[in-house]
């Protein structure tokens, strides 16, 4: 099992550009999450999904969009990049209905200038 895979690892965007952060998992987990981590802060939830076709907003959804067309993939879309979106983005998944730990990808480090 590869677990949770995120691409790209690094990206630099100019203000106003758009991009998609990719996330895929091969553990057949229904619940998937997108978090952002800013220096010295805990992880903040952006969006989550409880299954294919179902998504919902987390704490900090403004400026982002997601889709969940399959169980495996949960891409995060930035439409008009802003400097405030400079952060490290983590995708995670969990096996539902059990006391199981979150599984994280290695993150995407995004800089918006």
Partner 1 sequence: KQEVTQIPAALSVPEGENLVLNCSFTDSAIYNLQWFRQDPGKGLTSLLLIQSSQREQTSGRLNASLDKSSGRSTLYIAASQPGDSATYLCARNTGGFKTIFGAGTRLFVKA
| Residue 102 in contact with partner 1, rule: CB under 8 A | yes
Task: Report the residue number, 77 or 103, with the smaller CB distance to partner 1.
Answer: 103
Backbone angles phi, psi at 109, to 5 degrees: -95, 115
Distance of CA 105 to the CA centre of its chain: 9
- Evaluate whether 26 touches 49 at the Cβ level (below 8 Å): no
Write out the binding residues for partner 1, residues 34-93 only, by CB under 8 A: 35, 40-43, 45, 48, 50, 90, 92
Q: What is the contact surface with partner 1 in residues (CB under 8 A)?
A: 4, 31, 33, 35, 40-43, 45, 48, 50, 90, 92, 99-107, 109
């Amino acid at each position: 099992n590869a677990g949770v895979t995120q691409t790209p690892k690094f990206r630099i965007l100019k203000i106003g550009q758009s991009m998609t952060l990719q996330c895929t998992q091969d553990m057949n987990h229904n619940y998937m999450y997108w978090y952002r981590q800013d220096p010295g802060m805990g992880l903040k939830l952006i969006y989550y999904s409880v299954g294919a076709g179902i998504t919902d907003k987390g704490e900090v959804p403004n400026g982002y969009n997601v889709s969940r067309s399959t169980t495996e993939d949960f891409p995060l879309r930035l439409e008009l990049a802003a400097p405030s979106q400079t952060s490290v983005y983590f995708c995670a998944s969990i096996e539902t209905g059990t006391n199981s730990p979150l599984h994280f990808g290695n993150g995407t480090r995004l800089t918006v200038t």
